[in-house]
Amino acid sequence: MTYSGLLPDVDNALTAPFWAAVRREQLVAQQCVRCSSFRWSPSEVCPECLCSETQWTGLAGTASVWSYAVYRRAMHPAFAERVPYTVAMLELPEGIRMLGMIQTSTGDAEQDGEVRIGDQVRVTFLHATDEVTLVRWIPEA
């Protein structure tokens, strides 16, 4: 494959279960065994009750756009071929927020008008390499 962007460390002990699930095209997050709250980003203990027992639970794979920004200048050389691109803070129905890259026709959500705050998006998966799959989001039709 020819993906040239930055790649996550999929072997990191804290986040490896997330990347393994994403590889199977399943979006997951940690859910506290004691208080059932979801959390993102991954952490060793629950920020609500400090319990260290957690499970990785499948998510609906939908979200609403809480805010977004269009990048027209590459902030890192690895993104030079990708500009413009849109990064959004997404609010998931499970009560967590995630940053995510939104796929639109031009990459520029302001120009193509395909994404606005409050719009619904759904997850999709980009198989970047033989080992790494990345999360992307697309506007709901």
DSSP class per residue in 56-79: EEE--SEEEEEEEEEE-S-SSGGG
Measured from the CB atom, is 46 or 132 closer to Zn ion?
46
Output the smallest distance, CB 40 to Zn ion, in A: 14
Measured from the CB atom, is 57 or 62 closer to Zn ion?
57
How far apart are alpha carbons 81 and 65 in whole angstroms?
Answer: 25
Output the smallest distance, CB 37 to Zn ion, in A: 5
Output the smallest distance, CB 28 to Zn ion, in A: 17
Q: Which two tokens stand for residue 104?
A: 């639109």
One-letter amino acid of 39: R
Burial 39-74 (b: 16+ CB within 10 A, else e): bbebeeebeeeeeeebeeeebebbbebeebebbeee
Output the smallest distance, CB 3 to Zn ion, in A: 36
Which chain residues interact with Zn ion by CB under 5 A?
32, 34-35, 46, 48-49, 51
Measured from the CB atom, is 51 or 69 closer to Zn ion?
51
User: What distance, in Å, lies between the first and last C-alpha atoms of the chain?
Assistant: 29
Measured from the CB atom, is 46 or 123 closer to Zn ion?
46
Measured from the CB atom, is 32 or 63 closer to Zn ion?
32
Would you tell me how many other CB atoms lie within 10 Å of the CB of residue 31?
Answer: 19
Output the smallest distance, CB 36 to Zn ion, in A: 7
